[in-house]
Structure 1
């Protein structure tokens, strides 16, 4: 069983179903409103554990109703929350998701306590990092905390996986500590300056990322699939054609599911991507983030 530790965000998703995005100055009704567990870190953790990995979470929530709700969800999914801190008076992260009829979404984030993870919090959680096969992080927590955690991971030969989302500037110091980076095409373009439209442009961007210090690259390309580049191989794994209802958490499902199947030396990366692609194709067929993430039985069924 893979041991995965995730340093990441914990949000409650507030989902507003709408026919389309409103124009500037326009007022329009929504079809419905619902809430669900979310946050890129929490989504990835649940995707990993539902695909058979032993998963530990490093994060922070407030002592509010949303924090209580999210801790309950994580524990119910058998995630080790011993490194999740409850901040007195803190506000748990929230995401407001504008979900269109097309299945596409636009998301507005209130980081809350996700942005209040400290260096001391990372140090206190170092055993959770040392005991893992993989450490995963995303950019809904501060980059400084990720860098500190990745340094601990490298000293202890733990494989580091970075999901650079939401897109932002990234230093080479962090890239050099990253064993595998998994951006989508927009995030990869921001880091490399290459407009990614197909396999060839994805390959160009992946080579630039390796030149900046990353050892292995997977660029997810939406309906086109996922391009990967390692020291030994590269290729494009095509996406599966499905009827997408809600794309929320598709990328997070891909990463969590991927890591549950990866070998520590990443030698089986092609097979792991195929598994992750199938998992994410199931996610987009159901409304919501955490409720839509499949189990290993559903993926292999």
Structure 2
């Protein structure tokens, strides 16, 4: 079982030829309203990959909040610990996606930042019953810390996806089993530039020396690095045509959690996660792009079909 503690947002997505510069107006091609939020995306992705998943978070007492809970429930996520807060709006993300598949995102946290220690207290038993606790940073940092300490008291594995990037204190770093930053997040956390693969490895070593037990550093189309104090292994990305990179990192993290919770090796978990991430970028949207387990299981056949086409 996996417990995800994190954010739920309604994504308001505009597709356009290019992302505007400051002060520039561009015409969009179309608009979509898509369930999202890093926490909800990861919970939804893990459920679609066959895991038993509990989501812990908050939404507002509005139509967006109801829709987000209904969508997670429909995909098999347990939402008993997603609380509805009165007099506050559900979190919203405004996302611009350009033709290359790249995106830019602005988040208004809303109810996500109303999370309190009581949320974690109420979900304490499911956290302790889970093999893995998966978190991100779109909720208050003190709540992230409370959740981490609750899981570690029970001897559970903790995966932290440090997004959006912010500084983390030593107490958090010491209690994380697996940290999964991208290059930008790694640079902020380590204080070391990440403009080359060599510098990325040096930055990773800084975090390992500060107490992080294990790192998977995501590098977009360049794959990822798995780092421990003993070794560094580079995994190549699968070559696919990206349509929309929204939720690619979320699906990757969810896939890691699914395989780790099932007792798989890190090599197996990362290989699985690379397939999931590759499938995700070939579809538009956040939760609408997340692949089902059967799609991942037929990944090699799918890749062959694309190559022949």
Give the TM-score normalised by the residue count of structure 1.
0.96
SS at match of 1:61: strand
**Aligned-partner Cα distance in 1 for 2:277–2:262:** 22
Alpha-carbon shift at residue 50 of structure 1 (Å): 1.1
**Aligned-partner Cα distance in 1 for 2:21–2:147:** 42
Tell me the equivalent position of 2:140.
142
Equivalent pair of 1:199/1:227 in contact (CA under 8 Å): no
Tell me the equivalent position of 1:220.
218
Deviations 1:131-186 (CA, angstroms, capped at 9, x unpaired): 10000110001110011111111110111110100011111111111111001011
- The gaps in structure 2 that reach 5 residues or longer are 299-309
Alpha-carbon shift at residue 263 of structure 1 (Å): 5.1
**Aligned-partner Cα distance in 2 for 1:299–1:231:** 31
SS at match of 2:28: coil
Q: How does 1:250-289 map to 2 (within 5 A)?
A: 250-262=248-260, 268-289=265-286
SS at match of 2:22: coil
> Residue 181 of structure 1: which of 179, 190, 199 is its match?
179
Equivalent pair of 2:133/2:157 in contact (CA under 8 Å): yes
* Displaced runs of 4 or more, over 3 A: none
**Aligned-partner Cα distance in 2 for 1:202–1:287:** 30
Tell me the equivalent position of 1:46.
44
Equivalent pair of 1:6/1:55 in contact (CA under 8 Å): yes
SS at match of 1:98: strand
Alpha-carbon shift at residue 217 of structure 1 (Å): 0.6
Q: Is 2:309 the counterpart of 1:300?
A: no
> Residue 11 of structure 1: which of 9, 28, 38 is its match?
9
Alpha-carbon shift at residue 231 of structure 1 (Å): 4.8
Q: How many residues align?
A: 298
**Aligned-partner Cα distance in 1 for 2:227–2:137:** 22
